[in-house]
């Protein structure tokens, strides 16, 4: 991958997680995007009151965090669609309604990789906010557990100037090394103690490219540990991931959050090394 890593811990763990040069030739990437999005199911949350063109009687609200969601396989506005360009299939997320694509299969011990860039359109209720999307992983339980939209899960944040930040959703938690800076928590691999606290956790670095350019996002997941990588730079790491009942977490999800964006070359491959008990 050509990772640029400044901390010895990250180098040690990435070398352990990533398949060796010999193994990489044997471990085949599995593409997750096809024209029909056949490997995913669609769930849409509560449409904002400004959305037009919905079926008569559809529940809408200024508060999209609660109410009646559109639900499973109900996407009348084509929030999630595909485009064919240069012999590639692109996933287009319009962002007009909060929602997610959820993999039909459950994955664990994997390396997930995709390329991502922002579009131009923004929608209420985030017209004046940063563009926001995300890679949600370890998703579990029922749809709509968080804001009537996403499952309980962990989030690899994809937001303007905030690529790779961490957000636990719907009662899920994990441990990470971090420090408090001006009222916020920032990941720091050299912090003396682990933190296990909900809320928004900032990545140590922000190596995202300017809007309109393709970013490469990598997520390494092994057991209850994970590493977020943006454009070849390790920006966050966690361990001891569990749900609100204390169970380990497994599946993955992609989200839509009020800004147009594109994904391509979305793929996954297994990690076979056993690092059970390793602390990040």
Domains detected in the chain: 8-50+66-172+202-270 (2.60.120.560)
Q: What is the pLDDT of residue 214?
A: 97
Q: What is the pLDDT of residue 86?
A: 83
CB 175 within 8 A of CB 278: no
Q: What is the pLDDT of residue 123?
A: 96
Question: pLDDT tens digits for the chain (280 residues)?
Answer: 333 333 344 444 544 555 444 454 567 899 999 999 999 999 999 999 999 999 999 999 999 999 999 999 999 999 999 999 888 999 999 999 999 999 999 888 999 999 999 999 999 999 999 999 999 999 888 999 999 999 999 999 999 999 999 999 999 999 999 999 888 999 999 999 899 878 899 998 999 999 999 999 999 999 889 999 999 999 999 999 988 888 877 666 776 777 999 999 999 999 875 444 444 4
- pTM: predicted TM-score of the whole model, two decimal places: 0.89
Q: What is the pLDDT of residue 13?
A: 53
Q: What is the pLDDT of residue 9?
A: 44
Q: What is the pLDDT of residue 92?
A: 96
Q: What is the pLDDT of residue 263?
A: 96
Q: What is the pLDDT of residue 11?
A: 40
């Amino acid at each position: 991958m050509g990772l640029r890593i400044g901390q010895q811990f990250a180098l040690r763990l990435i070398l352990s997680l990533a398949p060796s040069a010999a193994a990489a030739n044997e471990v085949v990437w599995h593409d997750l995007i096809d024209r029909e999005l056949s490997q995913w199911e669609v769930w849409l949350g509560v449409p904002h009151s400004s959305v037009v063109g919905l079926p008569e009687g559809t529940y809408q609200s200024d508060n999209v965090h609660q109410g009646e969601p559109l639900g499973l396989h109900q996407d009348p506005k084509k929030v999630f669609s595909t485009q064919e360009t240069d012999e590639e299939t692109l996933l287009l997320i319009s962002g007009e309604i909060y929602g997610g694509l959820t993999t039909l299969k459950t994955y664990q011990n994997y390396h997930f990789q995709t390329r991502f860039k922002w579009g131009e359109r923004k929608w209420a209720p985030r017209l004046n906010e940063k563009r926001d999307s995300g890679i949600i992983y370890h998703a579990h339980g029922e749809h709509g557990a968080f804001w009537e939209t996403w499952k309980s899960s962990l989030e690899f944040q994809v937001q303007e100037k905030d690529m790779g930040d961490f957000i636990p959703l719907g009662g899920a938690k994990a441990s990470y090394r971090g420090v408090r800076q001006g009222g916020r928590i920032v990941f720091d691999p050299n912090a003396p103690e682990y933190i296990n606290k909900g809320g928004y956790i900032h990545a140590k670095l922000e190596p995202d490219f300017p809007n309109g350019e393709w970013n490469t996002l990598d997520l390494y997941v092994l057991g209850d540990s994970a590493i977020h990588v943006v454009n070849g730079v390790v920006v966050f790491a966690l361990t001891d991931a569990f749900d609100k009942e204390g169970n380990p977490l497994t599946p993955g999800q992609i989200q839509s959050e009020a800004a147009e964006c594109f994904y391509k070359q979305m793929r996954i491959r297994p990690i076979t090394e056993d690092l059970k008990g390793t602390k990040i």
